[in-house]
Amino acid sequence: MNYNDILKQTLTITDKVAYYIKNERNKFSNELFEVKSHNSFVTHVDKNAELLLLESLSKIVPNSGFLAEESGESNKNSEFLWIIDPLDGTTNYIHSLYPVAISIALMHNNEPVIGVVHEVGLNELFYASKNDKAYMNNKQISVSKIKHVKDSLLATGFPYYDYDRMEQYMSLMREFMHVSHGLRRLGSAATDLAYVACGRFEGFFEYSLSPWDVAAGAFIIEQAGGKVSDFSGGNNYTYGQEILAANANIFEELLSYIVKYMSSDIK
């Protein structure tokens, strides 16, 4: 299997879908969305973008499976699985804000081999494939070289339905406000991860996430020299609904704060 060839085709498809998303926003009304659940929204743009991706990606890797935000799982026993978020940041999109991102990961026997995050607002395309480096718009990227949390800018997100751990989470954020350069909340986990990969953020953490939010970005970070784990330091971040990602220098220090407040042992 030629992953570089698959990646090139995936990037071409993503460009077309990004154009559709951006162009459709010019015609979009803030009232044209559906409520899936509390604070979880979907638009016709999410749905149409996903259909475009499913149709096109299925031709690149025949008989592959899909795990997609709007349509769920199909052909789950396939050797190859695409994990897709057609529009990460729907709430931003509804309110004419960016970032908004397309997130695509290809898994081979549950191992990531391709990751693509296309941030539509700035037209920045982040990507990586197995046995290669990470890139943004044809330029190689890497995580930052900052060595201490005190010199770091961190990103996070807020859960929109799972509030059971909010007290611990708020305490964690309060501590990071004191010990780092600050926290940012952009509204798109895929973009946050891409920004860690290219060194704009030193680290990112969030819980109550889905595989399509993190699969692509986490792989890009690893190919860019960073580290990724769940809140206990394990590797269950794709399906475990929690993720910590950072440059290798501050990862252990960041993890110590996460474990202090958010480890599964103290839920």
Burial (Cβ within 10 Å: 0-12, 13-18, ≥19) of residue 253:
middle
Measured between its terminal Cα atoms, the distance across the chain in Å is: 42
Do 84 and 104 contact (CB within 8 A), yes or no? yes
Confidence at residue 36, expressed as pLDDT on a 0 to 100 scale:
55
Range 93-118 average pLDDT:
96
Confidence band of 32 (pLDDT split at 50, 70, 90): low
Length of the chain: 267
Share of the chain above pLDDT 70, in %: 92
Do 145 and 249 contact (CB within 8 A), yes or no? yes
> What are the structural domains, with CATH classification, of the chain?
3-140 (3.30.540.10), 149-266 (3.40.190.80)
pLDDT per residue over 43-78, tens digit each? 889 999 999 999 999 999 999 999 998 888 888 789
Count of other CB atoms within 10 angstroms of residue 101: 33
d(CA 77, CA 65): 7
Predicted confidence (pLDDT) at residue 265 exceeds the cutoff of 60? no
Place of tokens 């460009």: 15
Which of 126-130, 245-249, 259-263 has the least mean pLDDT? Answer: 259-263
Count of other CB atoms within 10 angstroms of residue 30: 9
Confidence at residue 266, expressed as pLDDT on a 0 to 100 scale:
43
Do 159 and 213 contact (CB within 8 A), yes or no? no
Confidence band of 214 (pLDDT split at 50, 70, 90): very high
Q: Estimate to the nearest angstrom the gap between the alpha carbon of 81 and the chain centroid.
A: 16
d(CA 130, CA 132): 5
Predicted confidence (pLDDT) at residue 129 exceeds the cutoff of 60? yes
Range 166-176 average pLDDT:
94
Written as one letter, the residue type at 132 is D
Confidence at residue 31, expressed as pLDDT on a 0 to 100 scale:
56
- Which three-class secondary structure string do you get for 184-236? ECCCCHHHHHHHHHCCCCCEEEEECCCHHHHHHHHHHHHHCCEEEECCCCCCC
Share of the chain above pLDDT 90, in %: 82
